């Protein structure tokens, strides 16, 4: 998993509340068995018409937000079903983090396990970043997980809180497998002392 320490990127505003995982990645696209390739279907029902063509009306299709890697969204982002594909779609599209005043717990947990950062700021701070992303062309943000801070070059600076264990995992790029492999030597030593019976080896 790629470590998350300091990220600098363009911000895109998604001024909607209660964005659920079925809007992030609709159910008909959950048949893929890989973690990649979901980005093209991100927010599909908002970006494409019944004919399968882009409407050009959705914020992420605005050329001003091309290449955006920080999404600023309304409260309760990621509610709905527990599909991990929602995080995969956001990451595959190019996002590294979402800023909101609140997140659904399962979505936030899935994000952590995929090296994707959810940043909780106050509603006022989130609204200000949303305004700047709308009104300032090419507005960029720095998300500093080492300092737990979001800032820009126009005087915005806000601290955020995050569980220290989650922060440790993100800073060091550790998913569940990575955490386990930190104890690889101890595991090997245990297995050497407790070999499997011959009938169930390999």
Whole-angstrom distance, CA of residue 156 vs CA of residue 132 = 10
Nearby residues of 162 by Cβ (< 8 Å), 6 or more positions away: 120, 145, 148
Question: Which H helix or E strand runs over 166?
Answer: helix 164-172
Parallel, antiparallel, or unpaired: how do β-strands 70-73 and 6-14 relate? parallel
pLDDT in tens, 122-132: 999 999 999 99
Tokens of 140: 């960029």
At residue 175 the predicted structure's pLDDT band, cuts being 50, 70 and 90, is confident
pLDDT at residue number 33: 82
Is the confidence at residue 198, as pLDDT, over 90? no
- Return mean pLDDT, the chain: 91
- What are the chain's domains? 6-200 (3.20.19.10)
At residue 6 the predicted structure's pLDDT band, cuts being 50, 70 and 90, is very high
pLDDT in tens, 122-173: 999 999 999 999 999 999 999 999 999 999 999 999 999 999 999 999 999 9
Parallel, antiparallel, or unpaired: how do β-strands 140-144 and 6-14 relate? antiparallel
pLDDT in tens, 69-107: 999 999 999 999 999 999 999 999 999 999 999 999 999
Whole-angstrom distance, CA of residue 102 vs CA of residue 78 = 9
Cβ pair 140, 9 in contact under 8 A: yes
Nearby residues of 104 by Cβ (< 8 Å), 6 or more positions away: 21, 76, 77, 78, 79, 80
Helix (H, G, I), strand (E, B) or coil at 89: helix
* pTM, full prediction: 0.88
């Amino acid at each position: 998993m790629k470590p998350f320490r300091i990220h600098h990127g363009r911000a895109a505003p998604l001024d909607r509340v209660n964005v659920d995982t079925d809007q992030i990645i609709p159910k008909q696209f959950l048949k893929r068995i890989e973690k990649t390739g979901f980005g093209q279907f991100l927010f599909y029902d908002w970006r494409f018409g019944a004919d399968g063509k882009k409407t050009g009306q959705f914020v992420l299709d605005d050329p001003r937000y091309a290449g955006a890697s920080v999404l600023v969204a309304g409260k309760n982002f990621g509610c709905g079903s527990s599909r991990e594909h929602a995080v995969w779609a956001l990451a595959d599209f190019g996002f590294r983090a979402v800023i909101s005043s609140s997140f659904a717990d399962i979505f936030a947990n899935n994000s952590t396990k995929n090296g994707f950062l959810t940043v909780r700021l106050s509603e006022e701070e989130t609204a200000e970043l949303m305004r700047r992303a709308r009104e300032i062309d090419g507005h960029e943000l720095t998300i500093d997980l080492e300092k737990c801070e979001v800032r820009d070059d126009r005087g915005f600076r806000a601290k955020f809180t995050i569980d220290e264990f989650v922060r440790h995992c993100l800073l060091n790029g550790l998913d569940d497998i990575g955490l386990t492999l930190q104890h690889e030597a101890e595991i090997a030593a245990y297995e050497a002392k407790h070999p499997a019976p011959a009938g169930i080896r390999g």
